[in-house]
Structure 1
Amino acid sequence: MTETTMNYKVEDTPPFTKTLLLSLQYALLVVPSLIIPLFLSHIAGASGRVPIQMVAATLVSTGIVTILQAWRGQWVIGSGFFMPAVSSAIYFPASLFALSIGGLPLLFTMTIIAGLFEMFLGFIFRWLKPFFPSFLTGFVIMLVGISLGMLALHKMLDITHYSQTGYNRNLILGISTALLMFALTIWGKGAIRLIAPLVGIVYGVILAYGLQVFAPIAVVNPGELSWFQIPFPNDVSLRFDWIVVTIFFVSGLTSAIRVTGIVATCQNANYDNSHHFSNKQTQRGIVTDGLGCSIAGLLGAPGISAAPSLVGISLINGVTSRILGYTVGGLLIAMAFFPKCLLIFTFISVPVSGAALFFLGTIMTMSGLQLINADRSSMRINLVLSLCLLIALSHLALVNFYQILPSYMLSVTGSLLSLGVLFAIALNIIINFTYKKPIHLILNENIIKDTNVNDLLREKLRNTGISIALKGKVVDSVGQIVKAICLDYMTQQPIMLEVVCKLEVKITIHYTGHLYHLPQFSNDMDNEDAAFTVGLIRMYTAEQPDHIVYKQDGEKCRLVLTYYHN
């Protein structure tokens, strides 16, 4: 979304009527995510008022964090952007794992802890970036999508009722609902693509009624529910188990990564080209997102996180005013006060909810692949990803083997997600630390005039193992800097370059003369379908160095340029 299409930016105030209509639209678009607390309550065997209470708790917590994100206060809370929150599919695999170990008490406890962990990541995320290059970030998101998709596929096909009479109706319901969502995403345009889950759920509910396929959740009689009632939280009991810590930490990490991309997209849409990526706003966005997740656990709801699809719709509408954060958040909280209206969500059948979650898993897998492909990876990177993917998928093929491992290993080996992500992080660190030998390149005026500096630098970097994309980024920006120094800033020859490749590529430029300051580069991108993916790609692929240090001692100048691995 380019700047010229924005009618109301982050600090603008739209007319009251437009604000109200857009707020109703966004509140309606949160509905598909309410499948997650309902689905988890079904898996947990909850009945009576519990499913409705979980939905109400989800609405209250998402409303609170949507308001907090729009706030720009004095503390570390609030990104200052319109970033609506939803019950997040990111936490779904971890939530199912927690339910299988310790039921709802363990789920709520670990949701609180995952939120606290995400808040912690918010304070240190700027220093973690070297450990999470774009290919590894994409791999984490892809694994979350695969894990979610595999779990949802089982429910979409309703395999547990395979032997029952009328199973074909369940099969038709699940497959046709998923196909409609994918069809709208592939052939639809604009906002239609972003509301595909909502359209699919409405279609699934109508078809389920025609096929007489009903939800298995036992709820209270509608007559026992009031039209208006204060949404008292569930009677939340807490339980802790080390086995599920890793997978919830991975979910918190994934949520933090997603928020990073969403904030970058919001910055790109709302500020002119002189404004650059702000670590402070990213930190506040991640901390607020984690706080919202912990609030959800305290109220008796599964994990929540910012929704990139709703940010994408705000770009389509041309209205990203943070005023919407207050109105949408207020509407979400208000919806929780009408339990009889929430009862309708409990009629969504398992094949329909499974189809919606399978669709979300596919979209997350696609987003991960987009991030990986944004970096034309080297053979070393491809080898790491292939090995870790096979290790992760071995959890599906070697179920009996992983079940007999000692209990103290279950925190790592208990799920596909934790197994693959931890191996990927460890291998990336180990392999990158093997590239320690500095590379030196001395350039004088004759070499710079008669030789292509970019070609010389590219040749020096050929066997370092860094990716093609990062190599091109380093060569282009360093080549421009060297030429600029040679033309206007150098008083004595030569220029010396020292290159060190480890967790990051660090290039130190030594020369004698006047200190050169780098101009700021811009990298505008336009994609309304995957807000967080676009933001991350922009952040990882900007032409400028990721970190610059200027040093001067008399006429002796030194520029230290740091490029993080893509």
Structure 2
Amino acid sequence: MPTKPPDLIYGVDETPPTVTLLLLGLQHIFLVTSALVFPVVIIRAVGGTAEDAAFIVTMSMLAGSIGTVLQTINRKGIGSGYLCPAVCGPSYISASLLAMQTGGLSLLYGMTAVAGAAEALFSRFLHRLRFLFPTEVTGVVVTMVGIAVIPIAVQNLLGTGTGDPFTEPAELFVAAVTLGTMVAASVWGRGSLRLYSVLVGMVVGYVAAAATGVLGPDAIARFVDAPLFAFPEIRHPGWSFDAALLLPFIVVVISSTFKTIGDLTTCQKINDTGWKRPDMKNISGGILADGLSAVVAGLLGGMGQATSSSNVGLSIGTAAASRAIAYVVAAILLVLVFVPKLAAAFVIMPQPVMGSVVIFAVTFIIVTGLRIITSRMLDARRTFVVGLSFIFGLGAGMIPDFTAGMHPLVQPVFASSLSVATVTALVVNLIFRIGIAERQSLVLEPGTGFPNAIFSFFERVGGAWGARPEVIRRAESAVNELMELITIVDAADGPVQVDVKFTEEALSIDARYRGRPLDLEPGPSAAGGQSDDEGDLARLPVLLIRQYADSVRTDGRGGECRVRLHFEH
């Protein structure tokens, strides 16, 4: 059973009072609705109409409401049961733009539904394919999700785009004021100001745009004329499918899956003070909910949905992780579907304001990806996985007409920097897995010289395995203390054979030697027959070994002694 951390006010299974619950839900809505800028970006990038933008925003809110409930229920293998709302996923932007340019809205909706179905299917096999997704691959994909959006984000920030290749001074002013306000509120703000930094920046941006003429009278009139309550206008064009776009949307599935794994792992950690490792069964249910949310979005006419990292962070900041808050978020989103004025507010959003919001969000995505990469040890192989993926991914985005001359079936693989980087990371990782064994061995001589040998060994194998640095440090220290103890009490008649086995769940060490057995129970003795002075010297290594390792076992038979150390990973 998970143990609620003492600094968490409302745990996942607790329900806050009604008024508090509503206020907490409203706080999350501010972050959820900020992601509605992404579907507007897609529609505008291909010259879509304001009506199309309003429809996709409205349907995205409805899909987000359903997706949030699916993520929260945690029943019959669907959902994680955590506060992790569904929002318009930035992972979908590049592929969605490609679908719009190729076949319009019908192809966008059809491919989004197909991508969601693929993610739902993938969730059933996730535990068997875990070797394909080490942290360096996950980190590369998450980072490239942000990097791939940079061109369109900067284009909007500067107020350029279809039919408008020039940046006006007023647009630069609005961009600077909007982005500057968001950053300042996030860095120097306290309390509510920091919590609502995006919302505050958007309001300031709208005011600045209206004052400078960037937000024209026609746009303002469209917002004023929009009804406060109304049933959404159905403008669904139907669904279509293009096999040539299957690979780009599979890349979206991989990106969205990686992001969801990170979000749900964080949810598990903040709700359990005794957390050791990700619960993959729980995460599989969450990814299934993620995929079903995208299917719903495609069927309804919205943008693909994914879990929101920002909302997970908000639950940490407010110390409130109750799943009841998620149901309030879903209910508010459902109500907003029938408020066209809100959709109009996003449809008329000035380009500099839109670009500022996207850049603000992308900043956190990129840094999160880099943190994932550096959370594990990197040897030469893993360094090449990261470096080559970034080089080829970024290179593909920098070269004009990169796909010109390629076969039509191959072009989608290289259609964006995200797809090139993801494919490169997966292929290079599979190649570099050759020659990496789960088991490694080291022979140590009691006496002197073993610390350097231990350090070099664990640095090498830790990097090859991509282990967590803190686990490798504890293992190094435990083996070093074990050798110190064997030397102090003169327990071994010869060398010590150290066998190390690594999996994503654990690091196991089996040290064998011939000689006297060690007693590693806390107490005055560590080996039979030693002097009192030796016993005093042996107490500290015994205590340290037990502190470093999660479990310690000893046994001896036929003159061969064995010490087994286990480390949760």
- Quick one: structure 1 residues 561 and 95, their matched pair in 2 at CA, closer, same or farther if it must change by over 3 Å? farther
Counterparts of residues 308-457 of structure 1 (less than 5 Å): 308-436=309-437, 439-442=440-443, 447=445, 450=447, 455-457=452-454
| SS class of match (1:82) | coil
Post-superposition Cα deviations, 1:358-415, rounded to whole Å, max 9, x if no partner, equal: 2222221111112223235233332332222121122233223422222121121111
Bigger drift between 189-198 and 241-250 goes to: 189-198
Q: Which residue of structure 2 aligns with residue 115 of structure 1?
A: 116
Q: Which residue of structure 1 aligns with residue 130 of structure 2?
A: 129
- Answer whether contact 1:111 1:302 (CA < 8 A) is retained: yes
Q: Which residue of structure 2 aligns with residue 290 of structure 1?
A: 291
2:455 to 453, 458, 474: 458
Bigger drift between 36-45 and 98-107 goes to: 36-45
- Quick one: structure 1 residues 404 and 299, their matched pair in 2 at CA, closer, same or farther if it must change by over 3 Å? same
Post-superposition Cα deviations, 1:258-286, rounded to whole Å, max 9, x if no partner, equal: 22222222222222326753222211111
- Quick one: structure 1 residues 501 and 271, their matched pair in 2 at CA, closer, same or farther if it must change by over 3 Å? closer
- Quick one: structure 1 residues 222 and 277, their matched pair in 2 at CA, closer, same or farther if it must change by over 3 Å? closer
- Answer whether contact 2:74 2:285 (CA < 8 A) is retained: no
Question: Partners of 2:17 and 2:6 in 1: how far apart?
Answer: 19
Identity %: 26
Q: Which residue of structure 2 aligns with residue 59 of structure 1?
A: 61
- Quick one: structure 1 residues 18 and 57, their matched pair in 2 at CA, closer, same or farther if it must change by over 3 Å? same
Post-superposition Cα deviations, 1:29-82, rounded to whole Å, max 9, x if no partner, equal: 322111112222223433353322211111111111112222132x11121111
Tell me the number of residue pairs that the alignment of Structure 1 and Structure 2 aligns: 530
RMSD over aligned CA atoms reads: 4.2
Q: Which residue of structure 1 aligns with residue 208 of structure 2?
A: 207
- Answer whether contact 1:62 1:87 (CA < 8 A) is retained: yes
How far 1:357 sits from its partner (Å)? Answer: 1.1
Question: Partners of 2:565 and 2:304 in 1: how far apart?
Answer: 41
State the TM-score, normalized to the length of structure 2. Answer: 0.80
Q: Which residue of structure 1 aligns with residue 24 of structure 2?
A: 22
| SS class of match (2:306) | strand
Question: Partners of 1:168 and 1:484 in 2: how far apart?
Answer: 69
- Answer whether contact 2:84 2:307 (CA < 8 A) is retained: yes
Query: Structure 1: which amino acid aligns with 2:259?
Result: R
Query: Structure 1: which amino acid aligns with 2:249?
Result: F
Question: Partners of 2:91 and 2:275 in 1: how far apart?
Answer: 34
Question: Partners of 1:544 and 1:126 in 2: how far apart?
Answer: 26
Question: Partners of 1:560 and 1:246 in 2: how far apart?
Answer: 45
Q: Which residue of structure 1 aligns with residue 243 of structure 2?
A: 242
Greater relative contact order structure (CA < 8 Å, 6+ sep): 1
- Quick one: structure 1 residues 281 and 217, their matched pair in 2 at CA, closer, same or farther if it must change by over 3 Å? farther
Q: Which residue of structure 1 aligns with residue 544 of structure 2?
A: none
- Answer whether contact 2:30 2:196 (CA < 8 A) is retained: no
| SS class of match (1:30) | helix
| SS class of match (1:159) | coil
- Answer whether contact 2:438 2:503 (CA < 8 A) is retained: no
Query: Structure 1: which amino acid aligns with 2:40?
Result: L
| SS class of match (2:129) | helix
Query: Structure 1: which amino acid aligns with 2:457?
Result: K
Query: Structure 2: which amino acid aligns with 1:396?
Result: G
- Quick one: structure 1 residues 25 and 218, their matched pair in 2 at CA, closer, same or farther if it must change by over 3 Å? same
Question: Partners of 1:471 and 1:322 in 2: how far apart?
Answer: 33
| SS class of match (1:402) | coil
Q: Which residue of structure 2 aligns with residue 39 of structure 1?
A: 41
Question: Partners of 1:408 and 1:386 in 2: how far apart?
Answer: 27
| SS class of match (1:172) | helix
Question: Partners of 1:484 and 1:232 in 2: how far apart?
Answer: 72
1:476 to 474, 477, 487: 474
Question: Partners of 1:217 and 1:500 in 2: how far apart?
Answer: 67
- Quick one: structure 1 residues 437 and 173, their matched pair in 2 at CA, closer, same or farther if it must change by over 3 Å? closer
Q: Which residue of structure 1 aligns with residue 530 of structure 2?
A: none
Post-superposition Cα deviations, 1:514-549, rounded to whole Å, max 9, x if no partner, equal: 9x9xxxxxxxxxxxxxxxxxxxxxxxxxx989xx9x
| SS class of match (1:509) | strand
Q: Which residue of structure 2 aligns with residue 537 of structure 1?
A: none
Bigger drift between 456-465 and 215-224 goes to: 215-224
Unaligned runs of 5+ in 1: 517-542
Question: Partners of 1:24 and 1:504 in 2: how far apart?
Answer: 38
- Answer whether contact 1:178 1:355 (CA < 8 A) is retained: yes
Question: Partners of 2:289 and 2:99 in 1: how far apart?
Answer: 24
How far 1:146 sits from its partner (Å)? Answer: 0.7
Q: Which residue of structure 2 aligns with residue 149 of structure 1?
A: 150
- Quick one: structure 1 residues 562 and 293, their matched pair in 2 at CA, closer, same or farther if it must change by over 3 Å? farther
- Answer whether contact 2:88 2:303 (CA < 8 A) is retained: yes
- Answer whether contact 1:457 1:475 (CA < 8 A) is retained: no
- Answer whether contact 2:471 2:567 (CA < 8 A) is retained: no
1:4 to 6, 12, 26: 6
| SS class of match (1:249) | helix
- Quick one: structure 1 residues 98 and 125, their matched pair in 2 at CA, closer, same or farther if it must change by over 3 Å? same
Q: Which residue of structure 2 aligns with residue 525 of structure 1?
A: none
How far 1:182 sits from its partner (Å)? Answer: 2.8
Question: Partners of 1:80 and 1:275 in 2: how far apart?
Answer: 19
Bigger drift between 301-310 and 42-51 goes to: 42-51
Q: Which residue of structure 2 aligns with residue 103 of structure 1?
A: 104
